[in-house]
Each structure stands twice: as structure tokens, then as C-alpha cells.
Amino acid sequence: MYLLYDSECCFCEGFASWVKQNDRKSVIEIVPFQDQAKVKEVASTLDPDQLTRSFHLAFSDGRILSGPQAIPMLAELTLPGGVILKKILTRMPGSERLLRIIYRWVSEHRWGKEA
């Protein structure tokens, strides 16, 4: 599994570093958007505009979860009690919408990225 992120964004760099440190099963490889060869290898279906809109989790079977869609999976892999949190985030009515709203707000208010 690959976490694709923008290494030119300080917030994103910190997020990727946190994910790497907390990847309890050591299954996530961190890949910056700027490593174009690796991005093409692991997420060839993402066009450049899609790529830069959010972070992504790319799976070896070709699936890609982007931004708020990836949060439940990341919670499962990085947080104590993450399995339970993932179940809540994927089954609770309205949680998908809530994750989109929170993700958009954080994205618009993050530091280290020019608007």
C-alpha cells in the first residue's frame, strides 16, 4: 500500500511522517507526488490534476482511496483502537459527508502551502 502526498507542503510532509511513524503493521510506503516514476508505477490511473487534489492510498490491486475516503483505512492502520474507529467511520450514517467537510476545511486552512 502506498501513501501518495505532496512533499512541497509542510503540513502534508508532517502528515506523511506521522503516518510512517505510526504504521503499526509497516504496510504503508510513503511516496511523494514529486517522485513521478514511482507515482506512475503505483497509481497510473490518477491524472496530474487528480493527484494534486488530495493525498491518496494506492493498493497493489489498483484501487485508490483519496483524501477523506482514505481516512478510515489510515485510522485502522495507525491509531490504537483504529479497527473500531474504521467501523464507526464506514458504518455511521453521515460519516462520509462529515469526513469530506473536515478534510476540505483542513485542506483549506493548512499551513506550508501557497493558495
> Residue 47 maps to which CATH number?
3.40.30
How many structural domains does the chain have? 1
Does position 115 have pLDDT exceeding 50, yes or no?
no
79 found inside a domain: yes
115 found inside a domain: no
Confidence band, pLDDT 50/70/90 cuts, at residue 102 = confident
Buried b (16+ CB within 10 A) or exposed e, 79-90: eeebeebbeebe
7 found inside a domain: yes
Give this prediction's pTM: 0.82
Give yes or no for a contact between 32 and 71, defined as CB atoms under 8 angstroms apart: no
Give yes or no for a contact between 89 and 79, defined as CB atoms under 8 angstroms apart: no
44 found inside a domain: yes
Does position 27 have pLDDT exceeding 90, yes or no?
yes
